[in-house]
Amino acid sequence: MMGDKPLRVLIVEDEVLLAAELEYLVAASGAAPVGHAMTSVEAVSLADQLRPDLALVDVHLSDGPTGIDAARQMTEHCGAIVLFITANMKRLPEDFAGACGVMSKPYSEHQVRQAIAFLGECATTGRSQRPPPHGLVLSPQFAERWGVVAAA
Amino acid sequence: MSEGEAQYGERLAALEAAVEARTRDLKAALDQRTALLHELDHRVKNNLQLISSLMLMQARHSADPAVKLALDGMIQRLNAVATVHRRLFQTEDIDRFDLSEFVRDLVADLGGAAARPQVRFACRLDPVQVSAAKAASLALLVNELVTNALRHAFPEGRAGQVSITIVQNNAELWIEIADNGVGMGGQDCVAAHGVQGFGLTIVELLGRQLQARITREDARPGLRMRIEAPLESVTG
Q: Does B85 touch chain A (CB under 8 A)?
A: yes
DSSP A104-127: ESSP-HHHHHHHHHHHHHHHHHSS
pLDDT (0 to 100) of residue B156: 84
Please state, in angstroms and rounded to a whole number, the distance separating the CA atoms of residues B127 and B166.
Answer: 8
CB atoms within 10 A of CB A81: 20
- For chain A, percent of residues with pLDDT exceeding 70: 95
Burial status of residue B210 (CB atoms within 10 A of its CB: 0-12, 13-18, 19 or more): buried
pLDDT, position B192:
44
pLDDT at B187: 44
- Report chain A residues whose CB lies below 8 A from the CB of B107: none
**A3 has pLDDT over 80:** no
What is the DSSP code (8-state) at residue B186?
Answer: T
- Number of Cβ atoms within 10 Å of the Cβ of B171: 8
Which among B211, B222, B123, B206 is positioned nearest to B165, based on CA atoms? Answer: B123
Cα torsion B187, B220, B222, B158: sign: positive
The answer to whether the CB of B36 falls within 8 A of the CB of A96 is no
Which residues in chain B are contacts of A18 at CB distance < 8 A?
49-50, 53
Give chain B positions within 8 Å (CB) of A21.
53, 56-57
Q: Which of B49, B79, B90 sits opposite A89 (nearest CB)?
A: B90
Binary contact (A110, B112; C-beta < 8 A): yes
3-state class (DSSP) for residue B184: coil
Strand partners, A137: A102
Is B90 in contact with A104 (Cβ distance < 8 A)?
yes
Query: Given the DSSP bridges, would you call strands B223-230 and B213-218 parallel, antiparallel or unpaired?
Result: antiparallel
Query: In whole angstroms, what is the distance from residue B221 CA to residue B205 CA?
Result: 27
CA distance A48 to A41: 11
Query: Does residue A141 carry a pLDDT above 50?
Result: yes
From start to end of chain A, where are the E strands? Answer: 8-12, 32-37, 54-57, 81-86, 101-104, 136-138
Check residue B93 and give its pLDDT.
Answer: 73
Instruction: Give me the helix-helix angle, B3-61 and A16-28, nearest 10°.
Output: 50
Instruction: Determine the length of chain B.
Output: 236
For A69-121, what is each residue's pLDDT tens digit?
999 999 999 889 999 999 988 889 999 999 999 999 999 999 999 999 999 99
- Which residues in chain A have their CB less than 8 angstroms from residue B112's CB? 110, 114, 133-134
Amino acid identity at B10: E
B79 touches chain A (CB under 8 A): yes
- Point out the residue among B41, B54, B75 whose CB comes nearest to the CB of A17: B54
Read off the pLDDT of residues A43-80 as tens digits, 9 standing for 90 and up. 999 999 999 999 999 999 999 999 999 999 999 998 89
Per-residue pLDDT for chain B (236 aa), expressed as one digit of tens each? Answer: 688 888 999 999 999 999 999 999 999 999 999 899 888 988 999 999 999 999 999 999 999 999 998 999 999 999 999 988 888 777 767 788 889 988 888 888 887 766 677 888 999 999 999 998 899 999 999 999 998 888 888 888 889 999 999 999 889 999 999 999 888 653 444 444 444 578 888 999 999 999 999 998 888 889 999 999 999 989 87
Q: Tell me the three state secondary structure of residue B178.
A: strand
Nearest Cα residue in chain B from A13: B46
pTM of the model: 0.85
**Coil, strand or helix: which one is B164?**
strand
Express each pLDDT in B69-123 by its tens digit: 899 999 999 999 998 888 877 776 778 888 998 888 888 888 776 667 788 899 9
Residues counted in chain A: 152
- For residues B184 and B8, give the distance between their C-alpha atoms in angstroms, rounded to a whole number: 86
Nearest CB among B42, B48, B109 relative to A110 is that of: B109
